[in-house]
Amino acid sequence: MKKNWKRIITVMCSGALVVVLAACAPKQAATQTPAAPAMEQVSFIPFTLPELGYSYNALEPAIDAKTMEIHHTKHHAAYVNGLNTALNGNPYKDKASTLEEILAMVEPEDAAVRNNAGGHWNHSMFWKWISPGGSKSPSDRMKQVITESFGSMEEFEKQFSDAAKSRFGSGWAWLAVDSNKKLFITSTPNQDNPLMKKIVAKTGTPILGLDVWEHAYYLNYQNRRPDYIMAFFGIINWDVVEAEYLKAIK
């Protein structure tokens, strides 16, 4: 049989010494204030930072380990946290069940949701598009699709590179599929992407994207964005690109 031990506690109350008789509660019933959850202001299931799925140095020398670590754990994480905060009490979370649905309905003036939802989706896909393994060149089927759209693989790379180089400031270059199941190349500022139907000039489903924000390449390439773009073509996981293409044309 467990004993119900008691103890005497002395406290100061308004300058007077007060004696309080308190029962010692079992450990599991201790009245310690629990640590606040990381996102306690969020009333819905929050988005989380996805695992990279490979080591930070896996893409060297094209992208160095320190850049990958900072990009993933700092920049991408900030978009995830920002999105969760922006959606707290926001009607988007009641109208949409997926990140893609949020992007499709976001309004131009809703900057917090627009920037953070875009940043989360863009980076989540970017890690897959450059993931090690898989084919480093497109399959015959994918080459044919690209050639039919742009004339040749070389012309595709030129047009995609031009879109990435000419993006003033920060943004992305995209290869996407339009509503007619045709490929097109475009570029967007900041964290916008072709899924944002109320924001971009031409909408579609991205099947390949390149981050040309300086934080994506500056430690290694400084102001040499064209060198970074050239290196990018050597680390594309074309198996992922083709899988996204096949989903987009269904």
96 vs 73: CA distance, rounded Å: 26
| pLDDT on residue 90 | 82
CA–CA dist 55, 73 (Å, integer):
13
Q: Give the span between the Cα atoms of 19 and 104, in whole angstroms.
A: 64
- Per-residue confidence (pLDDT) for residue 139, from 0 to 100: 98
The pLDDT, as a whole number, for residue 1 is 43
pLDDT score recorded for residue 97: 80
Q: How confident is the prediction along the chain (250 residues), in pLDDT tens digits per residue? A: 444 433 333 333 343 433 333 333 444 444 443 444 443 443 456 899 999 999 999 999 999 999 999 999 999 999 999 999 999 878 887 888 899 999 999 999 999 999 999 999 999 999 999 999 999 999 999 999 999 999 999 999 999 999 999 999 999 999 999 999 999 999 999 999 999 999 999 999 999 999 999 999 999 999 999 999 999 999 999 999 999 999 999 9
The residue assigned the tokens 């905060």 is 85
| Residues sharing a CB contact under 8 Å with residue 83, sequence separation 6 or more, in sequence order | 47, 113, 116, 117, 119, 120
* Cis peptide preceding 91, ω within 30 of 0: no
Instruction: Give the pLDDT confidence score for residue 92 in this predicted structure.
Output: 84
- Over residues 76-124, the pLDDT tens digits come to 999 999 999 999 878 887 888 899 999 999 999 999 999 999 999 999 9
Residues with Cβ within 8 Å of 64's Cβ and at least 6 positions away in sequence, in order, are 57, 219, 220
